[in-house]
Amino acid sequence: MVERSGFDTFANENLPEKALWPELILDHPAATYPTRLNAGYELLESTIELVGSNRLAIIAADATLTYGELLELVNKIGNYLKSQGVQPGNRVAIRSPNNAMAVAIWLAVIRLGAIVVTTIPLQRAVELEKIVEIGKVQFALVDHRFTEEWELISNYRGRTLVFGGATQFIEEINKESPEFEVYDTAADDVSLFAFTSGSTGIPKATMHFHRDILTIADTFSKNIVKPNRDDVFAGSPPIGFTFGLGGLVIFPLRVGASTVLLENAAPPILLEKIGEHRITCLFTAPTAYRAMLPLLIDKDISSLRRCISAGEHLPLATWQAWFEATGIKLIDGIGATELLHIFISASDDEIVPGLTGKPVPGYQAIVVNENFDEVVDGEQGFLAVKGPTGCRYLNDSRQKDYVVNGWNITGDIYTKNSDGYFKYESRADDMIISSGYNIAAPEVENALLIHQVVAEAAVVGLPDLERGMVVTAYVVLRPEFTASDQLREELQSHVKNQIAPYKYPRVLNFVDSLPKTTTGKLQRFRLKN
């Protein structure tokens, strides 16, 4: 590894004060690492030492790569990024669907000692502007099909490199050496800014270290998924989300398995790919498992041995229906972007249908009341978690809300039974979790209020069998406009054009007024009844 030099200290200077960090449990055998560590080296060179360079690593629309071919591509990209001025500690955004090039770029940035800033293709310019501002993004690598919104960003002053299609990206990187000296990062150097929606609509950048990337593989994946080098991973979550990043990139690469990356992973396509590629480990949200159930007839899913569900609450009915149809016990799990991945789960004979599970080895969890007293078994309270990963927001005052007394407070209401199993009850805030996506009600409200016909708007999540929750809007029109089905569709389309389309209100009700307190504060809870 190369010596440390020219290190951009922005991330280290904007970590929360140590007093505001959660207590980190770093002595668990599954998550103990040397002080000098580069996660990109561990996921490639160290894995190749175990499985060899000829083992298949990635199957994707843009490339099929062995581990040796992936390493060579990553090294060329790393040298190219260095030639373009990327330095250790710089923030590099990646905007791409799930494909081989996106993973290769991600690995190259990590190995260079720079920081990956995650985005997803569905995000609009107004959302990307917040990410650029908070993360002080200096470089961006953008798939040629997703440049339009990026070019609309008003506050980006960095360098944009476009790849794919008719661009010269491949030609340029092929001029570079296939040898690359991995930067000598510390285990606790920041490697990743993963953004999460705040309940206010203002995103928060969670900061994750090199050791954290390996930790989620060596705790949740190792103990719950239990993968081996012969496994084939696939799923629907974007690798811009930490659920997808872990399940589709980090977990398979850690053990030398293969991953199938799908740019379109709609349930019918996902089912076809399971049979085509003999997929063994599947990662998706409960919504997708429900959607696949009626499509299972004549589909070969005999290769599946692990089905992992997260991103939203897994209803007992969905668990039972999937088990009856396939014989596979869905692995439920709760995770958080703040902790990088799943920290409560169960697998095999330890699964209790309807319950999330127990703390993953290395993690601890309790249920507390508003005074932070641990409640008795069976009583509802706030879920509090700590372990080898934990919340570190980038320069954000909300750090003190998420971390209390050394514990991460996830915003979920849970109960725990006498056997130590945790059961999800509800969210404690106004966050809407629909089809595995976190959607902040105020962000949707703001998008509606931009439209000239809207005087007031309120948005809530209401229970829905298909999506878990459905985004529901209540709109008060300005006096000169009249409610109609056409206007409803116009407003829904307007929201899709303002923010990521998955956030639009699938249900939109026109009302004469909104419930408020005597001081004029909106009472969203009254709209949920």
Same domain, 391 and 478: no
Q: Within a domain: residue 427?
A: no
Residue 517: predicted pLDDT: 54
Residue 527: predicted pLDDT: 87
Residue 252 is classified by DSSP as H
Same domain, 102 and 229: yes
Burial of 191 (0-12, 13-18, 19+ CB in 10 A): buried
194 within 8 A of 208, measured Cβ to Cβ: yes
- What are the tens digits of pLDDT across the range 57-103? 999 999 999 999 999 999 999 999 999 999 999 999 999 999 999 99
Same domain, 478 and 348: no
- What are the tens digits of pLDDT across the range 149-184? 999 999 999 999 999 999 999 999 999 999 999 999
Same domain, 443 and 402: no
Same domain, 358 and 446: no
Q: Provide the percentage of residues in the chain whose pLDDT is more than 90.
A: 80
Same domain, 368 and 514: no
Q: Within a domain: residue 1?
A: no
Whether 518 shows a pLDDT value over 60: the answer reads no
| Arithmetic mean of pLDDT, 407-436 | 88
For residue 140, give both structure tokens: 């961006």
Residue 519: predicted pLDDT: 45
Which is more confidently placed, 291 or 190? 190
Same domain, 342 and 289: yes
Which is more confidently placed, 253 or 444? 253
Residue 438: predicted pLDDT: 79
Confidence of residue 199 (pLDDT cuts 50, 70, 90): low
R_g (Cα) of the chain, nearest Å: 23
Same domain, 336 and 457: no
What CATH number did the domain enclosing 165 receive? Answer: 3.40.50.12780
Same domain, 235 and 203: yes
- What are the tens digits of pLDDT across the range 18-63? 999 999 999 888 779 999 999 999 999 999 999 999 999 999 999 9
Q: Tell me, what amino acid is at 238?
A: P
Whether 201 shows a pLDDT value over 70: the answer reads no
Same domain, 406 and 460: no
Domain end marker among 353, 384, 416: 416
Show the DSSP H helices in 136-188 as ranges: 147-151, 169-173
Does an H or E element contain 401, and which?
helix 399-402
Cα 473 from Cα 527, distance rounded (Å): 9
Average pLDDT, the chain: 93
Confidence of residue 290 (pLDDT cuts 50, 70, 90): confident
Same domain, 281 and 359: yes
Q: Within a domain: residue 67?
A: yes
What CATH number did the domain enclosing 452 receive? Answer: 3.30.300.30
Whether 521 shows a pLDDT value over 70: the answer reads no
Domain end marker among 401, 416, 431: 416
Burial of 487 (0-12, 13-18, 19+ CB in 10 A): middle
Total structural domains within the chain: 2
Residue 526: predicted pLDDT: 83
| Arithmetic mean of pLDDT, 360-379 | 95
Which is more confidently placed, 144 or 456? 144
Domain that holds residue 360: 10-416
User: DSSP states of 88-148 as a string?
Assistant: TT-EEEEE--SSHHHHHHHHHHHHHT-EEEE--TT--HHHHHHHHHHHT--EEEEEGGGHH
Same domain, 406 and 446: no
- What are the tens digits of pLDDT across the range 95-135? 999 999 999 999 999 999 999 999 999 899 999 999 999 99
Whether 17 shows a pLDDT value over 70: the answer reads yes
523 within 8 A of 496, measured Cβ to Cβ: no
Confidence of residue 4 (pLDDT cuts 50, 70, 90): low
Whether 3 shows a pLDDT value over 50: the answer reads no
